Structures are given as C-alpha cells and as structure tokens.
Amino acid sequence: MKRPLRLRLILRDLAAAAAFGAMAVSGQLPLPVLGAFLGALVLALCGLRLVARHARLSALGLLVVAVLLGLQLTSGAMNAVVAACSFAGLIAAQRMLSTPDAAADGQTHLTSLLMVAGGAALSGDMTYALCLITFGVLASLSLALGVVEAAVPDGEPVPVRAVMRPLSAGVAFAVAGAVAFFVLFPRLNWAMVGPRSAPGLGASSAGYSNTVRLGGAGTIKGNPRVVLRATLTPDPGLDALDAYWVGRTYDTFDGMEWSNVVGAQQIERQITLRPASDTLIHQRVELLPAYGASTLIALEMPSRLGNARAHSPTGTRSSPVQLRGGGEVRFTVTAPSYTYEAYSLPPDAKAGLAPGLVQAERDQLLALPEHLDPRVSELAARVLQGEKEPLAAARKLASFLQKDYAYTLEQEGIPEDPLSDFLFVRKAGHCEHFATALTLLLRTQGIGARLATGFYGGARMDGGYLVRAGDAHAWTHVLVPGRGFVTVDATPPSNRTSQGSVYLEKLLALYEAVEARWRNSVVDYSFRDQFELASALVRPPRRPRDAPANEAPSRLPPPRAWATAAIVAFIVWRAARFVSRWTGRAPALAATRFLDRVDALLQKAHVPRFEHESLEDLTTRLAREGHPLVLALTPLTRRYLEARFGGRALREGEAEHLLATLRRALDAEAARRAVKPAGQAGPTARAS
C-alpha cells in the first residue's frame, strides 16, 4: 500500500481542529471533551496513530461515552446540541488516530462538517467565522492533495510544491464562489431560527449589585471589553456621546456603602418609569455577554423599557421585566445576552421627576450617616457661601471638587471613613468618591440628592454606539423643584470614560466593527437584504436638494449599475471559457495534446489498455508486472501530471524528447518480441 502524504494528513487534522474550534468557542463543551480532542490532535500531528493498533477498544470506548452522554441528556444535565457536538468531536479524534486510509479521511472530513454545523448552532459569532474559514481552506487543500496523491504511481514522489500554487488558487476561487452563492441564493434569515448567544470566553465585567461600597481600586475602569451596542433614533451622529446610561440609583448611605429603600415589585412586558414627552429618544439596545448583569440600562431619563428578549445558547425567548427599588428594571429570564427597547426623555425635558415619589422617599434623599464627620457640613457651607438654589449649589460644589481633588484608580486599603478620607486626607479617588462626596455635601445643606450608577459616553461604530466596561460610572442626581432629578457630575470630564489602553481599545473596536459587519452581512442576512442590495445597484441616484426645480431627473442607471453589469459580464465570460475548456469547445491544452500523442503511440504499438484506464493507472499496472516500458512511461507520466495539474508547463522541445524516448522503448519492445520463440508471448501480448 502507498505511504500516505504527511502534509495531507496534517492539513486534514488541522481542518478538524478548526471545526472543533468552531464549537469550542461557544464555551459550552465539557472540559473532558476538550482535553480528549486536544490530546488526540497532538498525537495525530506527531504521527502517533494509537487507534490503528486498538481499533476495537477505541470503538468500545466511544460506545461507553455515547451511553454516558445519553444519560446526561435524559437527566437534563446537558443540552442535546452540546451532547451531539461533544460526541462528534470524540468521533473525529478517534478517526484522526486511526489508520490513515481513504475511509478514515472521509470520515474525519464528514465529522468535521458536522462539528462546523454544531458550532453554528452553539454560537455563530465572529470567532466561529474564523474557524469556519480556516476549516474550509485546510479541508479543501487536504482533499485536493488526496486526489493528486492518488494519481501519482507507486514509488514516485508527489509534486507538492508544483501543485500547491494552482490548488491554492482553486481554493480561493471556491471561496469566492461560495460567497457569491451566499449573497445571491434566496434564503431565510438565520435569526429566524432564533439568535443564539455564547457565554463568552472571559469573565463578565459589569455586575450590578444591591449596594455600592466605597474603597478599593477602580479596576473596571481599565477594562476595554464592549458590554453594550445601541442604535439611537433620532441618530445624534456624534463620534462620541456625551450622555449617561443609567441603571439604578441609591438613596441610603451608611458611611461605607450605598443602598436604597426597596420599592414596589412590578413585573410587566413593559415598564413605565415616568410620563413621556412629545419627543423621545428611542434606543435599541443589545447587552453582550461581557455585561454580566440582569439590569436594563437606558439614556437618562428613561421613560419606558420593554420588548426584552433573552438570548441563550439554546435559543431566544421573550423576557418580562421587573421594576425594583431605585428605579432598577431587571430581566426575569437569565441569559448571557439580551436585546430590548428603551425610550428616554430628551436632555432638556422638565418631566424628570418619577411619579409616585412618596414623602418617605423624599426624606431619604436628605438622610445622612449616623456618624458623619462634621467637617463635611462645614466644607459644604464654606464652598456654597449661602447658595441655596439646588442646581446652582450642586454645580458650584462639583466645580470645587473637580478643581481641588485628583482622580486616581489607586486606592490602598479601605479606610474606616472613606468619605472623610477622600475629602480631607487623600484628596484623590475615582468616580464613586466624587459622586458620594457631592451627594453628601448637598444633603448637609438640605438639598435632596441621590447616587446614580451606570455608564458614561459611547463610541461611534457602524451607525450605532459601543459602550465599554471601562465606561462604568457613578454620578449625582439633584432634586430640583419643578424639574425633578437633574444630573450633576463631580468627576473630572476627562476621567468619566474608560481609562484603559488606547491601543487595546482601538484593536477591540476594530474587532467589534468586523464582528458587527459579520452579524449584519452573514448572520442576519436575509432575502430582504438581497432585495435591498439589488435595488440599490439599479436605483437612480437621489435628486440633490439644491438642484433647480426645472431640471429633469436623469433616467440613466447610476454608475454603480454600470459597474455591476461590467463585473457580472466579466464573470459570465470567464465562466463560459472555463466551461468550454472542459467541454472541448476550446483548443485542447498542451498537456492534453501531449497525452493524445502518447495514446496514439501506445495504440499503434498494441500496448493493452483496460477500459477507462488512465495513463497513471496504466503505468502503475505495468510497474507491478515488471514491464520494460515502465522506465520510459514513469517520467513521461510524471511530467504530464505536472503540466496538467501542477501548472509546470512542458518546456519547448520537452514533449518531443519524451515522445522520442517512448518510441525507442516501443521499438525495442517490438524487436524483443520478434526474436522470441513462437508460443512464448510476453506480457504485452495479453489483450484486455
């Protein structure tokens, strides 16, 4: 049996690894399955095919694993898709370590395809896309090398270098054709099956809690992970938002941490927090797995939140929302990611006061810790100098804090009185210190205020906005008569957004842009998108606003339509040439003409050929029979394969030289047969 080509096996195993990675990026495969496949991959790449010697034992092991997975599935401990993907990965591992023959190759590629399909069911995100492309390229090269390897006679080296370039070009052409097929072929939206969400590969970063405790380093400010995507209507069109995304508020401070009086527990499909105005800012929000919380956030001041959907690895389901204390709205369904809609009042609205604010809650806005340092009240009075108007007083105190206090994320230890430590000792802290100080300074002067938490800002990306974990922020709500709660932020403006590495944020922003393009152009691509794409290519350009009223609009197609027609015509022309070349309508290739001349010589010399036997098969058969013609046919066959499939064309005069060598060999064989005694025919006398 011919020894298999090592490069082909390596490409096959790496393709299987990419297919397995398409499932593994979802983070849902069991750790034993991950370990088993990675171990098998290392052994396979090292050429250690252990299953080849223990085939029955490995098959028995797979049967045991199938039973265990079935038990976990029936007990509800494992999802059906995860169980199927896990078993497919183990089958691929077993086939990779088995005897490398045609059956093992086919089964490995087949299970790899199943793993790719499983990865689409588990995740389908951008990382899955990279695994999918890698699998397609490596598997195609492995299969193509298998075809070339089968055509080379036994004992002859496979012309790997000569064929890799045309094979790579063929793979690129196949990928381009697949993309064109995807764009043009009518389809249903993948999302109609139900968008799924993987839990992600890293720990979540937001994590709203029932309290906010002062002290410690603000490590979250350096986290560049994106936690939120949002599109706004009307679109402000700004590169960076100067806006606050509020999640919840706190009205009770005990000297160390913030909490709030528990409010009503209300569960609805949609929660109304405050009356709407004539103009609302609509937000379509997606909370990503990095968010790690169940609290809905919206631009200040939120009016309505609802239409929530929870996206889990097993599918998508609607989620009612629950109104809790501090104006917090939570999802009632636990999932890695969510989408919902929110409506917020415009920044200049005066209806910011939530209805139903009872007297006890108003009193809580003035509550002070039991052992508040008296210097806090003295500092507030000294700065305000008699200013009693709430908004003016809050802005005056915020300006004082921004001027005389430094922003820092480095906080060693937790002092007994963090507020006094910030105001009178360190005079440096992060946003929670600034917001707490402003809120308590106002309360000592009889001005109602509370702490608000959420995010600040938003970076423009692909028509929407991205918010990072590092944009987590705390600020102050001041109760202003006639206006309700008004935001005043004591944190220096340059320190409100993410404090992480600029280069890392740019890199992640690029990744988010590519992922958003993947989601819009692939995952959510549907027949409607195809229709809009076709319409955009032929739709005449819009009439300019400043065009004269009597100017007749152009009836000619736009330039993009002409460009598209030219591209389509070129593709059709190239495809027609490609088809005609294989159907005989175009002149035969030089290698094909060379083969025709070889066949003519062999037929003239009465060299027997079986039906449908190729030149390569003939050379292999004659080599097994020890026929003298093998010495002339072997280099001739190799050069034909290189010229036909490897892109290494026959040099000038080379074909004539090879044919002359074959003629001499045929003449010598004819002379040898002529001198043989009658009745002793050689191997060439046997007809098929």
SS3 labels along 112-165: HHHHHHHHHHHCCCHHHHHHHHHHHHHHHHHHHHHHHHHHCCCCCCCCHHHHHH
> What Å distances lie between residue 489 and 316, 393, 435, CA to CA?
38, 13, 7
Q: Which residue has the higher pLDDT, 35 or 208?
A: 35
pLDDT in tens, 442-478: 999 999 999 999 999 998 887 889 998 889 999 999 9
Q: Which residue has the higher pLDDT, 278 or 40?
A: 40
C-beta of residue 469 within 8 angstroms of C-beta of residue 227: yes
Paired tokens of 266: 């209300």
C-beta of residue 629 within 8 angstroms of C-beta of residue 672: no
**Of 236, 267, 221, the residue nearest 347 (C-alpha):** 236
First to last CA, the chain: 24
Q: pLDDT band for position 543 (50/70/90)?
A: low
Of the given ranges (55-59, 133-137, 493-497, 571-575), which has the lowest mean pLDDT? 571-575
pLDDT for the residue numbered 176: 81
**Position 188 pLDDT exceeds 80:** no
Q: Which residue has the higher pLDDT, 309 or 501?
A: 309
Residue 552 and residue 550: Cα distance in Å, rounded?
6
Paired tokens of 635: 């280099």
**Of 374, 382, 453, the residue nearest 420 (C-alpha):** 374
| Mean pLDDT of all residues in 629-640 | 88
Paired tokens of 61: 């092991």
Paired tokens of 526: 């549907």
The DSSP annotation for 226-244 comes to: EEEEEEEES----SB---E
Render the burial of 433-468: b for 16+ CB within 10 Å, e for the rest. bbbbbbbbbbbbbebbbbbbbbbbbbbbbbebbbbb
Strand-strand pairing, 449-456 and 329-331: unpaired
Please tell me whether the overall predicted TM-score, pTM, comes out greater than 0.85 for this model: no
Q: In percent, how much of the chain has pLDDT > 70?
A: 82
Mean pLDDT score of the chain, rounded to an integer? 82
pLDDT for the residue numbered 654: 87
pLDDT in tens, 24-69: 887 788 899 999 999 999 999 998 888 888 888 888 888 999 899 8
**Of 398, 392, 301, the residue nearest 351 (C-alpha):** 301
- Helix (H) / strand (E) element for 311: namely strand 302-312
Q: Which span out of 211-215, 469-473, 485-489 was modeled with the highest average pLDDT?
A: 485-489
Query: Can you tell me whether residue 474 is helix, strand or coil?
Result: strand
Residue 133 and residue 174: Cα distance in Å, rounded?
12
pLDDT for the residue numbered 130: 85
Of the given ranges (147-156, 351-360, 436-445), which has the lowest mean pLDDT? 351-360
| Mean pLDDT of all residues in 180-186 | 71
**Of 183, 76, 172, 92, the residue nearest 133 (C-alpha):** 172
Residue 365 and residue 458: Cα distance in Å, rounded?
29
Strand-strand pairing, 281-287 and 298-299: unpaired
DSSP code of residue 478: E
pLDDT in tens, 96-130: 999 888 888 999 999 999 998 888 877 777 788 88
Q: What angle, 0 to 180 degrees and rounded to 10, lies between the N-to-C axes of helices 160-184 and 527-538? A: 90
C-beta of residue 304 within 8 angstroms of C-beta of residue 344: no
Q: In percent, how much of the chain has pLDDT > 90?
A: 32
| Mean pLDDT of all residues in 517-535 | 68
pLDDT for the residue numbered 579: 59
> What Å distances lie between residue 338 and 114, 256, 370, 487, CA to CA?
28, 33, 40, 27
Other CB atoms within 10 A of residue 130 CB: 16
Q: What are phi and psi of 236, to 5 degrees?
A: -70, -20
**Position 641 pLDDT exceeds 90:** no
Q: pLDDT band for position 331 (50/70/90)?
A: very high
> Helices marked H in 519-653 — which ranges?
527-538, 559-583, 590-604, 615-625, 630-645
**Position 584 pLDDT exceeds 50:** no
**Position 552 pLDDT exceeds 70:** no
Q: Please give the distance of CA 266 from its chain centroid, rounded to a whole number.
A: 36
Cβ neighbours for 504, distance < 8 A, ≥ 6 positions apart: 224
Instruction: Tell me the β-bridge partners of 428.
Output: 406
pLDDT for the residue numbered 264: 64
Other CB atoms within 10 A of residue 11 CB: 21
**Position 524 pLDDT exceeds 80:** no
Query: Can you tell me whether residue 309 is helix, strand or coil?
Result: strand
pLDDT for the residue numbered 44: 92
